[in-house]
Structure 1
Amino acid sequence: MENSHSASYAAAGVDVTAGYEAVKRIKPMVESTYIPGVLGTLGGFGGMFAPDLAGMKRPVLVSGTDGVGTKLRLALLLNKHDTIGIDCVAMCVNDIICGGASPLFFLDYIACGKNDPVRIAEIVAGITEGCRQSECALVGGETAEHPGVMPDEDYDVAGFSVGIVDEEKIIDGKRLSEGDALIGLASTGVHSNGFSLVRKVFDVEHADLNAPVDELGGKSLGETLLTPTRIYVKAVKALLKAGVDIHAISHITGGGFYENVPRMMTEGLTARIELSSFPRLPIFDLIQKKGNIPERDMYNTFNMGLGMLLAVPAGEAEKALEILRAAGESAYAVGSVVRGDAGVELV
């Protein structure tokens, strides 16, 4: 590749040598995510992975894809790009674990106006950290320059992940029953949803994002909003390894409680969540106050302090809470499954 250079392509705005420099910088980070099953190394035309199917009767692949959304604008305004990749991984693997599947590998796609190898390496540093947190391998990716389509300093990040689960162990809500306990896992903040509203509320283009904010305990607005999405893979895997019978899981993302919780329920059952049972993070109070946003809209947009909701048999709730807390999660008993067709009730 040292001999690969096109003056004509460079004149059109694409510097292929910058791409090679970026690959050189990220290769050690990528290889740090490798787990058993990875074949080859960075640089091939396709990432290869040989899953261990031992003990599985009928392996099922579960896939997820997502991006980071307009949270990226905060990263650009603050010129901080080393955590946004965690968000990208989280949005994919947190969905996959909802089905009981363990993420195996991840691929990223970075589109940019101009390839800055240092910035690309910062973005990939976050992606590799997200992969390590979720115990999956980064097996490939793509960085594409879009001169004339995107401003030079702009970029977008998306990702794709694949997990695996034995068919008989899929978590799909079919075993949900009245009386099941609901357990909530704390979020780290806004995560990666609702940022178009957040940016409007705080007028982030003109705000001092680095100034300490009393309502946020002295932390700045920028630091608070850029806090990476919590990855729940290890915690859920710990429950499964301990034999906890998880009946359903919901990842609280865009659409908040009213959109995501009903997705884990089955017909005739409703998740009744007690709002006083978990702490509401200060950032959400600030958003609501600053934007004069109705209470229902808040719970229909944001996670409000809970990033994931699980349903387990009532008799296993205490055991599940102990395991989750031992795994480093802030976990709460937040309600129960009741009869009804609302899907979710917030009381």
Structure 2
Amino acid sequence: MNEPRAYAAAGVDIAARSKFAKSLPGILAQARRPEVLSDAGPFSGLFRLGDTYRDPVLSASADGIGTKVKLHLAADRLDLCGPDILGHSINDILVCGAEPIFFLDYIAGNGLTTEQKLTLVEGVARACAEAGCALLGGETADMPDVYAPGEFDLAGFIVGVVERDRIIDGSKVAAGDVMLGIPSSGLHTNGFSLARKVLDICNGEPMEETRRRLEERPAVLGGGSLGEALLTTHRPYHRQVGPVMERIHGMAHITGGGYVENVPRILPEGVTAEFDTTAWPVLPIFQLIQQRGEISSEEMYEVFNMGIGLVLMVSPDDAEAVQAAIPEALRIGRVRGWTGRPVELRGL
């Protein structure tokens, strides 16, 4: 049949979608685990827990990477979307002690080429393989009239597992605990709506102008480009934290909402997390955003991670051992008795 296809004219090309789908089994195979019982194609993915665990509890989380996708698209670095969504998702289940076992992605857009879709899924598959997490399946949706032509969004759904008696829920956190921070690589995947506005990038200008602005090299970045600083991917921390998991009382993933919103999610009643903000270096990209946006320090720590991606709360007796296992971990504060607020940021 060579007649024009009505569905394709409406923005959904079934022939192109079929071609894309045929590539998926090979891509998913890059991130396969022995427990996976299904290949790409069936209506659902199958994963067998087996008898490895004594009393397994599943941990699940869903998230996206926000408006950072606009920068990925402008820089033609869709391959970085996978590491970003995996890093974010892994950390969200890590804080309860879970190891990642499988992941599903959801890509929705308007007018993405088959090559762009493949780049996105291959990036997710590579990130899954590096994390030891199966890419069990996903969905790619063409949604004309919902998204502007050429634009898209990416969401991820991760499932992990933790033994019930090893769940980290913050109940062991107590006054006197030491807070250790593991450095971030940059913005990770949060705060990009503010960053884009302040830096005037992906802010309504033509694509070619966006690319020019991504090449800017402000002095504060020490020779690096704005694009390099903004596109640095979200660090996953499960490899570093895994060996010392049993020593940890609580963990907070510093994402959207910064310290004020994320840290209280792991605190029991009656304690305050007191941070010494002078105990770690603020990354240059945050300095640039604050300077150009004339943003108060208080708001910066409410929006961004400011250089710390994961906060660990440990007994003073274990702090030295945890730092020996994770040499980059810094002492950034302490847990103390209730001060009237769940989080105190000293040194601003």
Shift of 1:27: 3.4
Deviations 1:15-45 (A, max 9, x none): 1222233234443332111123111211221
Structure 1 segment 104-183 matched on structure 2, within 5 A:
104-183=101-180
Query: Which residue among 206, 212, 236 is the counterpart of 1:231?
Result: 236
Distance 2:314 2:97 in 1: 13
Would you say 1:190 and 2:195 are equivalent positions? Answer: no
Pick aligned residue for 1:255 from 243, 254, 257 = 257
Q: Give the one of 205, 211, 219 matched to 2:216.
A: 211
Match of residue 343 from structure 1: 342
Letter in 1 for 2:8: A
> CA shift at 1:6, angstroms?
8.8
State, as a whole percentage, how many aligned pairs show the same letter.
Answer: 41
User: Given residue 289 of structure 2, which amino acid in structure 1 is its aligned partner?
Assistant: I
* Superposition pairs of residues 182-331 of structure 1, within 5 angstroms: 182-205=179-202, 206=205, 208-240=213-245, 244-325=246-327, 330-331=328-329
Q: CA deviation at 1:51?
A: 1.3
**C-alpha distance after superposition, 1:109-138 (max 9, x if no partner):** 000102411111111232123323432110
Residue ranges of structure 1 left out of the alignment (5+ in a row) = none
Matched to 2:131, the amino acid is: S
**Contact 1:193–1:253 (8 Å) recurs in 2:** yes
TM-score normalized by structure 2? 0.92
Shift of residue 239, structure 1, vs aligned partner? 1.8
Whole-angstrom distance in 2 between the partners of 1:237 and 1:55: 16
Question: Alignment RMSD, CA only?
Answer: 1.8
Amino acid at match of 1:321: Q
Aligned equivalents of 1:277, 1:312: Cα separation in 2: 17
What code does the residue aligned with 2:295 have? I
Q: What amino acid is the match of 2:94?
A: I
Tell me the equivalent position of 1:31: 29
Letter in 2 for 1:50: R
Q: Report if the CA contact (8 A) 2:252-2:312 is conserved.
A: yes
SS at match of 2:61: strand
Give the match for residue 84 of structure 1.
81
1:256–1:301 Cα contact (<8 Å) kept: yes
The CA distance in 2 between the partners of 1:55 and 1:152, in whole Å, is 47
Decide whether the 8 Å contact of 2:35 with 2:48 is kept in 1: yes
Q: Distance in 1 between matches of 2:164 and 2:109?
A: 39
Provide the C-alpha distance between the structure 1 equivalents of 2:45 and 2:242, rounded to a whole number of angstroms: 25
Find the aligned partners of 1:52 and 1:235 in 2 and give their Cα distance. Answer: 26
Find the aligned partners of 2:229 and 2:18 in 1 and give their Cα distance: 34
Return the alpha-carbon distance in structure 1 between the equivalents of residues 37 and 242 of structure 2: 24
Inter-partner Cα distance in structure 1 for 2:24 and 2:184: 29
Q: Return the alpha-carbon distance in structure 2 between the equivalents of residues 210 and 24 of structure 1.
A: 37
Q: Return the offset for 1:323.
A: 1.4
Question: Residue 226 of structure 1 aligns to which amino acid in structure 2?
Answer: L
Indicate the SS of the match to 1:161. Answer: strand
Amino acid at match of 1:227: T
Aligned 8 A contact 2:106 2:154 in 1: yes
Whether the 8 Å contact between 1:104 and 1:164 is mirrored in structure 2 is yes
Query: Post-superposition shift, 1:166?
Result: 1.4
Distance 2:39 2:25 in 1: 9
Give CA-to-partner distance per residue, 1:119-178, whole Å, 9 cap, x none.
Answer: 111112321233234321100011011123223311110010111111111100111112
Tell me the SS of whatever aligns to 1:178.
Answer: coil
Q: Give 3-state SS (helix, strand or coil) of 2:135's partner.
A: strand
Tell me the residue number matched to 2:16: 18
TM-score by length of 1: 0.92
SS at match of 1:185: strand
* Kept after mapping to 2: 8 A contact 1:62/1:162: yes
1: distance between equivalents of 2:59 and 2:173?
A: 21
Q: Distance in 1 between matches of 2:169 and 2:146?
A: 41
Tell me the distance in 1 between the aligned counterparts of 2:247 and 2:58.
21
